[in-house]
Structure 1
Amino acid sequence: MELKIAGHVVRVPLMPNLAVLDSDRPAVGVVAPDPDRGFPDGADAAAGPGFTYHHFWDSGTRLTLTGERAGEYRVRLAPDVHAWVASDRVRVLPPGTPPARGRVGTVRLTPRAEAVDVRIEVDRRLPYRVDPRGRALDITIYGGTADTRWLMSGGLDRHVVGARWSQPADGRWVLTLDLAQPHWGHAARWDPNGDLVVRVRRPPPVDRRRPLRGLVVAVDAGHPPGGAVGPTGLGEAEVNLAVARRLARLLERADAQVILTRTDDRALDLHERARIAEAAGAHLFVSLHQNAFPDGVDPFVESGTSTFYFHPHSQALARAFQAELLHELRLRDLGVGRTSLAVLRPLTWMPAALTETMYMMVPQQEAALRDPEVQERIARAHLRALERFLRQRAAGRDAP
């Protein structure tokens, strides 16, 4: 690097942080187990170095590595598709290991009570994605080459009403499922025999008069660790738990079964919160939060209510929360956003959203959050949002 100021020149050697691997003989790696993560076990990956996470790969997934930069490997998924993963999450295999390519064979759909199991024969663990699209689901296997002679439906089903596979490009095999109703949730795993199994969850039956009856709802009181603190010292974690307890009582009166991810002030890991919800078989998940500001932002101008989701099939739930919170509290509408939040990323089995109801740092809003009546109003708005979402789904509507 060379810097010139007023006739003075300073030169400093800089070490490059980009390595290009041999494109003719790329390195091959495998996603290593993460003993600290637990659920789900694997690695997050992004479309670019340091970008927002967009992929998840199970431990044992084989990867073709074509570059390295700043502690991340570039992974070739297909000739025109790449992703980046932390290098400490990958174990590089010996030179000469065959690249991450594999044969995709027979597909079998097996209807079960809670879900339709989609079993895809693959001869090695390859990167894959499951992408909901309203009333369709795309399962993409990168590095897969079609040898799919059989696609067995396993009998007529009322939820998965169509299935077809395609090879739209070299190294990209896609199975598309047509659904009778908007997608509710899915779970993917590698079977011990090597097959990729994607469970497509059936929407639960909904009684429009009492839509929450018989459903399992996971309520997550956000934080600790961390959390915002108001001007007089009120902690966000304390408020979130108070609202969660009130919401739990309302849900139980509506005949729902409630799972509270935490019931006291002990810190709880974000992935553990998601694991609790999935292990309980929750049909719906909501994480309760209050917001804070970064430095340099005027809280009196920028405060308001916002709601977030990550997986596309959760957007309608997030919109329902936003609508009911705005109706109840009349704060500024900061919108519904899709973002890569660690507590939401693992939750594919159910619609899941995170609400930011008020701003702890605004004195009037901190004072309101101390008030039990306001806490009750916030809880009731969340209850109405859940009922609203369920009634819309029962009517066959995809979004509010």
Structure 2
Amino acid sequence: MSKTIQGIRGMNDALPIATKDAPLPSTAWLYFDGVVRDWLAAYGYNQIRTPIVESTALFVRGVGEHTDIVEKEMYAFEDSLNGEQLVLRPEGTAGCVRACIEHGLLYNQTQRLWYTGPMFRHERPQKGRYRQFHQVGVEAFGFETPDADAEMIVMLADLWQRLGLTDLALELNTLGDAAERAAHREALIAYLEQHADILDEDGKRRLYTNPLRVLDTKNPALQVMAEGAPKLADFLGEASRAHFDGVKAYLDSVGITYSINHRLVRGLDYYNRTVFEWTTTKLGAQATVAAGGRYDGLVEQLGGKPCPGVGFAIGIERLILLLEAEGVAMPADAPDAYLVHQGEAADRAAFALARQLRAAGLKVVLHAGGGSFKSQFKKADASGARFAVVIGDAEVEARTANLKRLVGEGGGEQITVPLAELAARIRA
């Protein structure tokens, strides 16, 4: 007999209940999805859905040819039918911009959009970092003023409050505009060349292709060198400084606390001006839960007319892990009733009753497979339902059902209810 086929490493199952091998239960995902939908609706955002598979060129041009994502992490392949170069999307912004350009969504109009779904990067799997991971992405197009940047950050602060999270800190920086980054890049390369002998393999590889990312190193041996590097803030012009001051003023006005991190650069080339990260101390090395910033040149870079953009992405797996680490209660979407039945007439009546109760807006599990009342009640208890609705042949004749509370105060109490009143009594 052949060996059982296993799932792909770093691409995880979400089961109804948490297990050692699948620690993030689907009930937590459902809870989070519901909170997110209400939260984004409150801010006037509309959902967009884009394909999981995109052209490789989209990310080479959009994310950056010399980023880690493009150089080392993308699942890229050739379509065997037509030779087209394709990729499993490693992030969501580039695909969202592509869709907006392709369908004319940015022509003389602004857009507030959000999406959710799986992303793919070939990384070394560990807690909070997977090869298939999921994000909620939020993008706003057509807004160039600092209030749009600040609202993105405030939106996330509001989400943390809705979820009951407290262990999150905001780091903020500005990357300036293209000319300012070019001047800083020249000074940074000169500085790094003076320290080339201590750079690690990644630092040497990035020295001339992406020197800003050298400053984002996690190598303890390079921290002193990185701290002494020329700061982009010293190269900012008046407009960039004013924009960043505006972002900070809006955050100050609503009491959002933050720290300035001059080494915060993000791993994607399309960012300019404001960048930010929300981090936690409770997930070890995978500290970043949500991050984003402004990308005013990306639409034009991907073939559209110039249009400012700003957005962020939330790592769903990491956020669920943080909810669990902080002990936040995530209510399960339990059934209202479990329908217990025995007897030939009762079986048919229960089948019809379950449909009627669902039509009345209740969540009902109809017992299947037969068994004694005792065995059915065990399954009713295990289901998490609030009530058991019990029907035997005698109840069919009387057009009644026995209603028994399974959870909460009054557990075990059983009353007889006319079928016509059953839905109302369960709701009450």
Q: TM-score, normalised by structure 1?
A: 0.27
Looking at secondary structure, tell me which structure has more strand per residue.
1
Q: TM-score, normalised by structure 2?
A: 0.25
RCO higher in structure (CA 8 A, sep ≥6): 2
Whose radius of gyration is greater, 1 or 2?
A: 2
Looking at secondary structure, tell me which structure has more helix per residue.
2
